[in-house]
């Protein structure tokens, strides 16, 4: 599963609504910009021992969560489902074939949440025999007339109606609800929203729609029959075997899954989807999206066949299942979910063909795809071991970056993952594999994901590529269709490499924290540097780590490296480098999961930027100098940064130039170079960033270029051009020219138009604002709402009432936290209007997210003080 970003993904030098964004960042802890890799090595060392003790105490109080005991083994399910769209009920008949796992059994315990049960019977030679049972709305205990011996099977038939809406409530940050099955706009009452249903089983929510043993260490095969309207498409696991018309516009689809997988991976989706077909060899691929988005889907998911080929090659294990479908749905409760052969994605992946030019969704596509091996083929035996699913899926994003975009991009990705992990670990370090927790949903955090992926990278570095990937191959083939725990991975790696790895798994998987390293380099003998390492992490719970630290330097442009194995709290090595060195790099590629390092001066960062062949090191140098506001050094490297071979460095450089026209005076030729990037850079992100720099410096001079670029195929570029034009103070563009863009549905165009209409006080645009608000979704809607509020507050005041009502509708009904926040923000502007404050307080009281609640409370309090 990929978590939904807590905040919309932001291009950090975007022109868009930085105010709202900052507020959002502040409100939702954990939303981080991807810019900060300042490593100045100071502060941060001393964590309070007292706090650690508190965590320790707290953890002891949490219950120990064992892997589920396997009393019965569920072998196969036949499931017939019909849907009552009106009352959002599922009408089901399940036949379950079970056998005792080891010991004889007389009672069968099944998970079945919020069902109304009909007959529960045993099928004996074609006859039904009603059985006694006890049911408490959560668990169904079925009493067999006689004890079932190991090796014997029993077939149960259970008729039921399930109610996904009952007792639904807040899930976690990763999975925001627990209904299991979701009816979306079931009676087609919401304009512009398609009617559909889809499921989300992880963690234990499949038993909201079929009776099962809802545990990750269970595995079953199944046949599913779905009765659906003829106008709709159904998708499920395995293969579609048959479609049978039942008359009256009703059809029955038969899906067969003949390879065993865990109940939480069972999934269905039903809706008016269009299918884009593709293939990888004999493997059929399907991309399911709302009609009208087929061409966009073909682009968004275009890398899928190549990704499968690459992962197959690295793992030496063919894609394990019958087909692979990817389905984009509305109102998904997470980012995406790796249901076996049928991954489901959030609607942010719904792009039209032109938007798909700048699609950045490869990471989530890789993540769910890699889960088909790690998670689906081999499955974490309990949620305590969740990282055995998520570490791999997370690391696949690195692998794909490395393959597709190169080492620099992959390295930077690792830095971003590290920052995410540190943000969480600084507040509360936890074991990667932890058996004491209150709620399984708590495991979906930056430890299981980010740290897990980083630790796999440590393991790869420790063993080398050949052993690491051969170890993965052994792990997958040995444990195919089985539940696994961390020791299975360790044993596979040990077997392949011939090395003991207990120490590695102990320090990374079973202990808390990470190394914090102080590195002092003595340059007094430049031909033999003395390097002193000190591990300064608090030793209360965090171990002394064994860590291979790469030291590197350059001799006449040639990179030299030496790896030092740091194993002690204090350790000193002589480099014996021979030729004199003026700067030694420690962990130059940033690949180690650790904090600290060598404290560098501004001059040394300047040298790092000039010398390093690693993009991530140049990025770090630039970023650190920017954080220190090292003006002299920046003056030297900014002209180089915007010409750097690594696009992220060019972008970071441009972001530093933005809004500061002093650079243009200081650095002759710089402006021409920035303009060259606008026209020639291979990356649309860089082109739009460069354009933003110029429109900030000298807008009128680029009016002609902007009018041409407003028609650029890339919305990133076109949006930046239009925004530049909207902000022109003299030599304004004609209203009639601006209006030719009103038919566009991309938010970047929409916010630029909105900006023009607001700054120029254009009356009569209320209907366009209304239409655009209704059309936009996701992050686009979030950005637009601020403009929308401002327009009706300042220009289209006559329609203020309706606008307020529309914003309240988003605040009340949106399933996304950040959209409710956006609506709240926009409504704050109307606080002086009659009744608005009272309604905001009402909405605040009904808000389900605690973070938003406290945020709302803060602002409402401030407003009350003002009034
Ligand atoms: Zn995942």
Q: How many CA atoms lie within 13 A of 821 on its CB side?
A: 27
Nearest Cα to Cα of residue 246 among 262, 260, 226, 218? 226
pTM, rounded to two decimals: 0.93
Residue 480 CA to ligand 1 center (angstroms) comes to 18
Residue 444 CA to ligand 1 center (angstroms) comes to 9
Residue 652 CA to ligand 1 center (angstroms) comes to 29
Q: What is the pLDDT of residue 173?
A: 59
| Element housing 236 (H / E) | strand 233-236
Residue 77 CA to ligand 1 center (angstroms) comes to 26
Strand partners, 274: 289
Residue 386 CA to ligand 1 center (angstroms) comes to 9
Residue 797 CA to ligand 1 center (angstroms) comes to 46
What are the angstrom distances between the C-alpha of 38 and each of 29, 424, 539, 833? 19, 17, 25, 45
Residue 369 CA to ligand 1 center (angstroms) comes to 9
Residue 393 CA to ligand 1 center (angstroms) comes to 5
8 A C-beta contact, residue 80 and residue 104: no
For the chain, counts of helices (H) and of strands (E)? 28, 29
Phi, psi of 530, rounded to the nearest 5 degrees? -105, 125
Q: Which residue has the tokens 């668990």?
A: 139
Residue 91 CA to ligand 1 center (angstroms) comes to 30
Neighbours of ion ligand 1 (CB under 5 A): 1, 390, 393
8 A C-beta contact, residue 507 and residue 541: no
Residue 451 CA to ligand 1 center (angstroms) comes to 13
d(CA 729, CA 731): 7
Q: Give the count of beta carbons closer than 10 Å to the beta carbon of residue 405.
A: 14
Please, what is the angle between helix 304-315 and helix 465-478, to 10°? 90
Q: What is the mean pLDDT of each run of 10 residues along the chain (867 residues)?
A: 55 32 36 33 35 56 94 98 98 98 98 98 96 98 97 98 87 73 95 94 97 98 98 98 98 98 98 98 98 98 98 98 98 95 96 96 98 98 98 98 97 97 96 94 96 98 98 98 98 98 98 97 97 94 95 96 97 96 97 97 98 98 98 97 98 95 95 98 98 94 97 98 94 96 96 97 97 92 96 96 96 90 96 94 90 92 83
d(CA 224, CA 254): 6
d(CA 211, CA 728): 63
Q: What is the 3-state secondary structure (H, E, C) of 625-650?
A: HHHCCCHHHHHHHHHHHCCCCCHHHH
Q: How many CA atoms lie within 13 A of 72 on its CB side?
A: 28
Residue 746 CA to ligand 1 center (angstroms) comes to 29
**The tokens of 288 are what?**
């399911």
Residue 309 CA to ligand 1 center (angstroms) comes to 20
Q: Which residue has the tokens 């699609």?
A: 359
Residue 463 CA to ligand 1 center (angstroms) comes to 25
Residue 371 CA to ligand 1 center (angstroms) comes to 7
Residue 381 CA to ligand 1 center (angstroms) comes to 15
Q: Which residue has the tokens 């390093």?
A: 612
8 A C-beta contact, residue 619 and residue 649: yes
d(CA 716, CA 748): 7
d(CA 336, CA 2): 5
d(CA 712, CA 709): 5
Residue 220 CA to ligand 1 center (angstroms) comes to 21
Residue 1 CA to ligand 1 center (angstroms) comes to 3
The residues, any chain, with a CB within 8 Å of residue 162's CB and separated by 6 or more, are 89, 90, 92, 112, 113, 114, 115, 116, 181, 208, 209, 210
**The tokens of 37 are what?**
């890799």
d(CA 88, CA 83): 7
**The tokens of 447 are what?**
């430890």
Residue 394 CA to ligand 1 center (angstroms) comes to 7
Residue 173 CA to ligand 1 center (angstroms) comes to 13
Residue 720 CA to ligand 1 center (angstroms) comes to 34
């Amino acid at each position: 599963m990929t978590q939904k970003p807590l905040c919309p993904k932001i291009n950090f030098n975007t022109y868009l609504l930085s105010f709202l964004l900052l507020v959002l960042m502040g409100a939702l802890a954990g939303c981080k910009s991807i810019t900060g890799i300042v490593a100045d090595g100071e502060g941060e060392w001393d964590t309070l021992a007292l706090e650690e003790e508190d965590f320790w105490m707290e953890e002891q109080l949490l219950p120990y969560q064992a892997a589920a005991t396997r009393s019965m083994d569920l072998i196969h399910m036949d499931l017939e489902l019909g849907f009552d769209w009106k009352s959002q009920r599922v009408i089901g008949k399940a036949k379950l074939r079970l056998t005792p796992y080891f010991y004889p059994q007389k009672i069968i315990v099944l998970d079945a949440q919020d069902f109304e049960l009909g007959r529960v019977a045993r099928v004996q030679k074609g006859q039904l025999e009603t059985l006694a049972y006890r049911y408490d709305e959560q668990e169904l205990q079925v009493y067999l007339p006689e004890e079932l011996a190991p090796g014997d099977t029993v077939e149960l038939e259970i008729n039921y109606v399930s109610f996904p809406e009952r007792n639904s409530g807040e899930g976690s940050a990763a999975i925001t609800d627990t209904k299991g099955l979701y009816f979306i706009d079931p009676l087609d009452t919401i304009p512009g929203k398609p009617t559909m249903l889809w499921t989300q089983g992880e963690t234990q929510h499949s038993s909201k729609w079929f009776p099962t043993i809802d545990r990750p260490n269970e595995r079953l095969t199944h046949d599913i029959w779905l009765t659906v309207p003829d106008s709709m498409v159904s998708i499920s696991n395995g293969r579609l075997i048959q479609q049978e018309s039942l008359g009256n516009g009703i059809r029955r689809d038969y899906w067969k899954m003949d390879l065993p997988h865990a109940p939480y991976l069972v999934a269905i989706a039903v809706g008016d989807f269009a299918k884009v077909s593709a293939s990888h060899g004999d493997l059929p691929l399907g991309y399911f999206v709302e009609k009208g988005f087929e061409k966009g889907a073909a682009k968004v998911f275009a890398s899928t066949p190549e990704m499968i080929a690459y992962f197959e090659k690295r793992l030496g294990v063919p894609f394990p299942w019958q087909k692979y479908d990817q389905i984009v749905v509305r109102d998904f409760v997470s980012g995406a979910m790796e249901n076996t052969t049928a991954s489901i994605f959030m609607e942010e992946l719904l792009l039209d063909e032109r938007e798909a030019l700048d699609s950045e969704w490869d990471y989530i596509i890789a993540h769910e795809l890699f889960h088909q091996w790690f998670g689906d083929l081999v499955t974490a035996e309990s949620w305590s071991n969740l990282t055995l699913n998520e570490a791999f899926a997370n690391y696949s994003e690195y692998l794909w970056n490395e393959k597709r975009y190169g080492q620099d991009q992959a390295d930077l990705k690792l830095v971003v993952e590290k920052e995410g992990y540190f943000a969480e670990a600084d507040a509360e370090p936890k074991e990667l594999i932890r058996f004491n927790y209150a709620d399984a949903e708590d495991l979906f955090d930056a430890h299981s994901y980010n740290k897990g992926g980083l630790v796999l990278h440590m393991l790869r570095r420790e063993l080398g590529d050949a052993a690491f990937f051969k170890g993965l191959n052994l792990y997958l083939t040995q444990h195919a269709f089985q539940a696994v725990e961390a020791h299975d991975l360790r044993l596979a790696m040990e077997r392949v490499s011939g090395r003991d790895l207990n120490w590695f798994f102990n320090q990374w998987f079973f202990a808390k924290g990470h190394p914090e390293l102080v590195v002092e380099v003595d340059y007094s003998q430049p031909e033999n540097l003395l390097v002193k390492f000190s591990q300064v992490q608090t030793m209360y719970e965090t171990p002394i780590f064994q860590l291979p630290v790469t030291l590197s330097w350059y001799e006449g442009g040639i990179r030299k490296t030496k790896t030092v194995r740091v194993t002690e709290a204090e350790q000193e090595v002589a480099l014996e480098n021979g030729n004199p060195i003026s700067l030694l790099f420690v962990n130059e590629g940033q690949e180690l999961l650790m904090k600290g390092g060598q404290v560098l001066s501004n001059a040394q960062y300047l040298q790092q930027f000039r010398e390093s062949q690693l993009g991530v090191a140049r990025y770090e140098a630039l970023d650190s100098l920017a954080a220190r506001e090292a003006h002299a050094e920046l003056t030297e490297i900014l002209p180089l940064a915007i010409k750097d071979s690594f696009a992220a460095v060019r972008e970071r450089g441009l972001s530093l130039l933005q809004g500061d026209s002093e650079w243009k005076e200081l650095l002759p030729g710089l402006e021409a170079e920035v303009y060259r990037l606008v026209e020639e850079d291979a990356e649309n992100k860089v082109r739009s960033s460069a354009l933003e720099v110029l429109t900030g410096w000298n807008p009128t001079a680029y009016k002609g270029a902007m009018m041409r670029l407003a028609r650029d195929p890339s919305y990133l570029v076109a949006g930046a051009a239009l925004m530049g034009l909207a902000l022109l103070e003299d030599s304004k563009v004609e209203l009639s020219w601006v209006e030719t863009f009103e038919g566009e549905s991309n938010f970047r165009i929409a916010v630029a138009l909105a900006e023009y209409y607001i700054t120029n006080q254009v009356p009569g645009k209320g209907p366009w604002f209304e239409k655009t608000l209704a059309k936009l979704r996701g992050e686009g809607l979030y950005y637009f709402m601020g403009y929308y509020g401002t327009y009706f507050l300042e220009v289209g005041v006559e329609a203020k009432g309706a606008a307020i009502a529309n914003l309240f509708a988003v605040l009340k009904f949106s399933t996304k936290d950040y959209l409710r926040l956006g609506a709240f923000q926009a409504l704050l502007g109307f606080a002086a209007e009659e009744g608005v404050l009272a309604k905001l307080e009402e909405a605040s009281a009904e808000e389900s997210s605690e973070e938003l609640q406290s945020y709302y409370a803060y602002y409402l309090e401030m407003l009350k003080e003002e009034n």
